[in-house]
Amino acid sequence: MNIFVVAAFCALLITLLSFLQIWQKKVDEVRRSRAAAEIREAEETGTGKAIAQHPQINVQTCIGCGLCIAACPEDGVLGLVDGVTRVIHGSRCVGHGLCAEVCPVGAIEISLGDISERNDIPILSSHLESSVPGLYLAGELGGLGLIRIAVEQGVRAVERIAAELKRAPPSGLDPKVADLLIVGAGPAGFAAALKAIEKRVRYIAIDQDDIGGTVRKYPRRKLTLTGPLDLPLYGRVKKTEFLKEELIVFWEKLVADYGLKIRSGVKLTGIERRGDVFFAQTSAGSAVARRVILALGRRGSPRKLGVPGEDHEKVLYHLIDAATYKNESILVVGGGDSAVEAATALANQPGNAVTVSYRKDRFFRLRKRNEERIRKYSAEGKVRVIFNSAVKAIEPDSVVLSVRTEGAEKRTALRNSYVFVCIGGDPPYELLRQAGVRFNGDDPSPEVSRRATAGNPMESEAAS
């Protein structure tokens, strides 16, 4: 009797294991099919190639647990392919870094990856010093735009500068010459100013706008992910998610609490090293300092359309509060995330008729949620999307578009109250080049080759 029971149990167990094996095989086939479909979509829409910071995955170390995929707040950046994590929609990555934090085996590192063909990345040393001795770059200018990384870079640059200044005290310099000029009051510049106070470095801080930099130009109530932050003087910031307004209020409180002195509305127009000091030209006059940190961001000045009527007051380059626009005829120019976010936010306001003009035949490299939202709004008639179009003229009550259809070009006039131009900005590369900063792809001098590390500004400082 016992033999029959054992045999029956073994048969049942074998059947169950066979069933589980078949089920697992089907699950794996479904996963592979989904991954293949996502990869095809990424190739077709142009979202497969990362355009900035993104995860670098060691496939030899990855155990395929999927924790990184679950942690990523962006849709479709990562996926399991043949049992290991792969980057699928790389251009959707904005460098939150949560995937690297949750990886149990340390198989993920956030970096710029291969930038050998990019000529917009400055050559920086592991200390963030540019090819101009004493001139440092922090934040987006180095290619990495995540708030947490920008803060770390601002702090790291000041630590290096403070150590340098301590080793080389000023000799014969005017006491009025500042130790450090910080240009930009975004995350990197803000953190640099805090660190300067902590290190007793005499600093001047300016920004062409106001405290917060690019963050201040985000749309109203935009969710901003900072990740875990350690700020000089303040310590660990426990909160990792802020609405735009909350983050600005937090920064303004730090300004008051620690006595930060940041001159708003002052734009840097030129900078030159003369001997041991830097002479900076600004919209408010000149400034002299022994060291400089440029934390300008990469957007620079808003990119213009270059068409008649663009100087009209109804033409805007940032949507701050969509709720202030109601019962208006609005044109949004552009096909990126900022354009789609602006268009859909404006379409949610009562009475608005919103049109999007985009020069290409479809949207590329959108975040998945924005891609899904614009498709939905277009299908429901909330937003009219005109592909293959370009603005030719802006009139007080209308806007003229040129639309390409089957090789022919046709001009059409739309009734219009406001035009939002969301086509990015012109980075301050020319300003940097005039100061002597070299970029990846330039032919550096032997001195630059010796001092600077071509490529990744996130390189470890272990060698220093």
Does the pLDDT at position 94 exceed 80?
no
User: C-alpha distances in angstroms, 383 versus 67, 349, 371, 402?
Assistant: 37, 12, 13, 19
Give the pLDDT confidence score for residue 271 in this predicted structure: 94
Give the pLDDT confidence score for residue 421 in this predicted structure: 95
Does the pLDDT at position 454 exceed 50?
no
pLDDT digits (tens, 9 = 90+) for 220-231: 777 776 667 899
Does the pLDDT at position 303 exceed 80?
yes
43-52, 89-98, 210-219, 332-341, range with greatest mean pLDDT? 332-341
277-282 vs 268-274, strand pairing mode: antiparallel
Q: What is the mean pLDDT of the chain?
A: 84
Give the pLDDT confidence score for residue 193 in this predicted structure: 96
Q: Which of 111-115, 250-254, 272-276, 350-354 has the lowest mean pLDDT?
A: 111-115
Higher pLDDT: 460 or 451? It is: 451
Does the pLDDT at position 401 exceed 80?
yes
Does the pLDDT at position 458 exceed 60?
no
Closest CA to 101 of 72, 139, 126: 72
pLDDT digits (tens, 9 = 90+) for 240-270: 888 888 888 999 999 999 999 999 999 999 9
Does the pLDDT at position 327 exceed 80?
yes
Q: Is the distance from CB of 92 to CB of 368 less than 8 angstroms?
A: yes
By percentage, how much of the chain surpasses pLDDT 90? 42
Does the pLDDT at position 235 exceed 80?
yes
Give the pLDDT confidence score for residue 460 in this predicted structure: 31
Does the pLDDT at position 272 exceed 90?
yes
In whole angstroms, give the CA distance from residue 230 to residue 228.
7
Quick one: average pLDDT of 116-143? 82
Higher pLDDT: 276 or 143? It is: 276
pLDDT digits (tens, 9 = 90+) for 366-389: 888 888 999 999 999 999 999 999
Domains observed in the chain: 38-114 (3.30.70.20), 135-298+427-446 (3.50.50.60), 305-421 (3.50.50.60)
Does the pLDDT at position 450 exceed 60?
no
Does the pLDDT at position 192 exceed 60?
yes
Burial call 204-224: b when 16+ CB within 10 Å, e when fewer: bbbbbbebbbbbbbbbeebeb
Q: Cα angle vertex 85, ends 83, 89, to 5°?
A: 130
**Residue 58 pLDDT grade (very low, low, confident, very high; cuts 50, 70, 90):** confident
